[in-house]
Structure 1
Amino acid sequence: MQQQTPVPGGPGEDPRRRIPRTDALLAEPAVAAARQRLGEQAVTDLVRAAQERARAGEIAPEQVLPGLEQALAAARPSSLRPVLNATGVLVHTNLGRAPLSPAAREALADAAGYTDVEFDLGSGLRSRDRGAGARQALLAACPGAEDALVVTNGAAALVLATTALAAGWEVVISRGEMIEIGAGFRLTELITSTGARLSEIGTTNRTHLPDYDHAIGEDTGCVLRVHPSNYRITGFTSTVPLPELAGLCHDREVPLIADLGSGLLAPEPLLPEEPDAATALAEGADLVIMSGDKLLGGPQAGILLGRKDLIARLRRHPLARAVRVDKLSLAALEATLRGPLPPVRAALRTDPDALRTRTAALATRLDGELVPHEGRVGGGGGAEVPLPGWAVALPGALAAPLRTGDPAVVGTLREERLLLDVRCVPAEQEDGLVAAVQRARDAAAPA
């Protein structure tokens, strides 16, 4: 008896035969467009993943193309995902620190292609003035500096300065300023990695001018003053005012480096205890080190400001090449300095009453509770300085689905409640936040 061939789609047919072929899927218009955006390999991997789901019986063969199109729409060229920062922490290290301003983002896009970063368009010759725009913007923003140099980050700036000025020599530092920075790196270990030796003076809580005076000698390469950005020592304490320390260093002809950390170019009334570059230079610091991606509100960068001869010495050192900043950071930094108020400083100066009004309206939309909430500067700046504000309180069970949703939303879990602080959430993204909360509620609802 002759065996009959199963009718397509009939009860005897293996449904896997209906799974679309790879070449057919790749020829689909939406898939072909995604290949231009995401790349050949990434799209091919998603095609195969959709086919494997159908082979495993997770989806019907007819769902392969719709599922693939959905996956392609959600796919991004990078594994880094955008996040709505609803924590109230302005400079959140785990969320990439400072968000860039629209001007800085535009500058990044312009610099992403070919640029004249080391080329003189007028003469057609190579330019030796790399980063001139960012340097001039820094000097305009901080007129007390004779010159400026930009490197990859704050730690690189410190390593370059201590290497160029004190490799094989001593760096005088107070024990109260021997701090540990992010990821377990200790400032003292960074310094000694340069070949410099530490000359520790004073105690954890008290250091006096004679301590510096006795330590400075023929082997001293520089004196380092470090602002302990992310902690405070209170009670029985003593530190040497910067003008007094600068006077001693100048008398002994030893460079004084002030590592400020957080990135203020000028005084900020809301953070009266946070040091700034203009004041430190005016009080006698020879070199000032600060970060570009903290309170300055720009890209990751280490900024050195100060005496022209010392900056030139650093610029000529071979290590300067190893910590040279790229064209993208230079473009974003210049745009941050010349452009409108960056998001970090705008969030810092948010009016509490305006924030309350906005948060109350959001609480109504989300059916949540309006509660007081103190924000923070974060990122090693403005330690213990509260930023009075408000938040929307929602059930804590929404935290995980919000973090893993699209867009990802990160808030603060406290006493089994999720607090959403919109100080750092742009107003134009508020509708996206509301939609994300609704999807999180749907995901958290019992089946």
Structure 2
Amino acid sequence: MPRTDQVLADPRLREAAARLGPALVKRVVVAAQERCRAGELAPTDVADEAVAALPAGATTLRRVVNATGVLVHTNLGRAPLSAAAVEALRTAAGPTDVELDLVTARRGRRGRGTLEALAAEVPDAEAVHVVNNGAAALALVTRVLARDGGSVVIARGELVEIGDGFRIPELMESVGARLREVGTTNRVRLEDYAAAVDDDTAFVLKVHPSNFAVRGFTSSVPVADLVTLGPPVVADIGSGLLRPHPRLPDEPDAATALRGGADLVTASGDKLLGGPQCGLLLGRSALVERLRRDPFARALRVDKLTLAALEATLTGPVPPVPAALARDVAGLRARAEAVAAALPEHLGAVVVDSEAAVGGGGAPEVVLPSAAVSLPPAYAEPLRAGDPPVVGRLERGRLLLDLFAVDPDEDVVLVDAVGRAPGPA
């Protein structure tokens, strides 16, 4: 078996060490040597095997084709970024003027271009601020406004769990909130809020239960009525929709909440907005500035990469998520037929009607008509193990590759990945 230093001296591996890092390349070489030691590989083939096993990049994250039919898939990283946002990330990766005024050579407002772009998209907001995710936005509001023991009034039906076991009430209590729950699981009235509001009320919180829906004998109170109670009203809309969307009529948006009188709106930037993971704070100037200047805001600060990607999302071409929401089923069916026709006959690919979903804790009852390529279910695992992995969904005993969340430019990638997938054992 060749020595490690001899294998690492191979020019191909030296180049890879400079690109990927010596530790990663050495691990690949050692794995090839172990196969040689086990008699699975000839000594002369160790270097070639190591080169073949090198990853494409230094990260363990892998690009995935999202054929699940879930547009904003939490497990797949939520919103895919636009090409403009990706290019902005490349620019921001090096030294930038993120906090430097190049004219005066003095410290400038951090992320000023991003904040100006966000303010332009939500003119109903007097001021805006960005933190590192939606939960952080609500935590900052709670910590600052309810710091001195003030209570937060919230409907019982809005005490939601936001994923991975995290719950809104526990998040707020962890930063010192004292919650006053009103109403019942299915019904709350304005008089319930009024009975709970007193001199100790820090703010009234309106949370959109974005990942579930309760139907039947229900009632809730809109923001426009809550503002008559006196204390500040904070609306956590969740999904990052900045203005009404025709395909999502029941999904709350920032513009409508602010016009209804909300003092603050909190939202995520990596869902329906289609940007990077971040939290948005929109509303009254005095409140936003108070939040921005609080010491806790420093712990929630976004980096230059997020600022760059968010600005490009706001000012650049239509991001992938809003673009997907504009697709019609006829176009999706035509794409599915082209994909199925390009696949080998032995796969038995057929085109079927499908139903896609928004995902990401948004619009849980909205059904998005779509089209999918149907394959035998045994291909699910080989496709997930491919390069790139293709993730579909199993439904009615078939593997469906739904095209709703697949960018049209990825159709050729999908065809190639499926065509190369080994048959089931």
Q: TM-score range by the shorter chain?
A: over 0.9
- Confirm whether residue 309 of structure 1 aligns to residue 286 of structure 2: yes
* 1:43-77 Cα distance to aligned partner (Å, 9 max, x none): 111112112211111111222122111112x3421
Residue segments in structure 1 that go unaligned for 5+ positions in a row = 1-18
- Confirm whether residue 32 of structure 1 aligns to residue 9 of structure 2: no
One-letter code of the match for 2:142?
A: T
Matches within 5 A, 1:48-447: 48-72=30-54, 74-127=55-108, 129-167=109-147, 168-246=149-227, 248-249=228-229, 252=230, 254-366=231-343, 367=345, 368-440=349-421, 442-444=422-424, 446=425
* 1:133-164 Cα distance to aligned partner (Å, 9 max, x none): 11101110010000001000000000000111
Could you state the TM-score of these two structures normalised by the residue count of structure 1?
Answer: 0.92
Matches of 1:443 and 1:82 in 2, distance apart? 22
* 1:406-435 Cα distance to aligned partner (Å, 9 max, x none): 101100011331000122222232222222
Matches of 1:30 and 1:443 in 2, distance apart? 32
Matches of 1:259 and 1:149 in 2, distance apart? 15
- Confirm whether residue 43 of structure 1 aligns to residue 25 of structure 2: yes
Q: Secondary structure at the match of 1:239?
A: coil
* 1:160-182 Cα distance to aligned partner (Å, 9 max, x none): 00111112110000011110111
Residue segments in structure 2 that go unaligned for 5+ positions in a row = none
Matches of 2:283 and 2:207 in 1, distance apart? 16
- Structure number with larger C-alpha Rg: 1
One-letter code of the match for 2:130?
A: V
Matches of 1:195 and 1:256 in 2, distance apart? 18
Matches of 2:26 and 2:311 in 1, distance apart? 40
Matches of 1:23 and 1:176 in 2, distance apart? 64
Matches of 1:391 and 1:262 in 2, distance apart? 26
One-letter code of the match for 1:153?
A: N
CA RMSD of aligned residues (A): 1.2
One-letter code of the match for 1:228?
A: P
Q: Secondary structure at the match of 2:420?
A: helix
1:397 offset after TM fit, Å? 0.5
Q: Secondary structure at the match of 2:282?
A: strand
Q: Residues 274 and 313 of structure 2 are in contact (CA less than 8 Å); yes or no, is this contact kept in structure 1?
A: yes
Larger CA deviation: 156-165 vs 47-56: 47-56
Matches of 1:29 and 1:345 in 2, distance apart? 46
Q: Secondary structure at the match of 1:423?
A: coil
Q: Secondary structure at the match of 2:71?
A: coil
One-letter code of the match for 2:245?
A: E
Matches of 1:68 and 1:192 in 2, distance apart? 52
Q: Residues 7 and 46 of structure 2 are in contact (CA less than 8 Å); yes or no, is this contact kept in structure 1?
A: no
Matches of 1:244 and 1:23 in 2, distance apart? 73
Q: Residues 99 and 110 of structure 2 are in contact (CA less than 8 Å); yes or no, is this contact kept in structure 1?
A: yes
One-letter code of the match for 1:140?
A: A
Matches of 1:151 and 1:235 in 2, distance apart? 37
Could you state the TM-score of these two structures normalised by the residue count of structure 2?
Answer: 0.97
Q: Secondary structure at the match of 2:65?
A: strand
How many residues in Structure 1 have an aligned counterpart in Structure 2?
420
Q: Secondary structure at the match of 1:336?
A: helix
* 1:302-331 Cα distance to aligned partner (Å, 9 max, x none): 000000000011011111011111111111
* 1:246-272 Cα distance to aligned partner (Å, 9 max, x none): 2x13xx2x1100000001111100101
Matches of 1:105 and 1:347 in 2, distance apart? 18
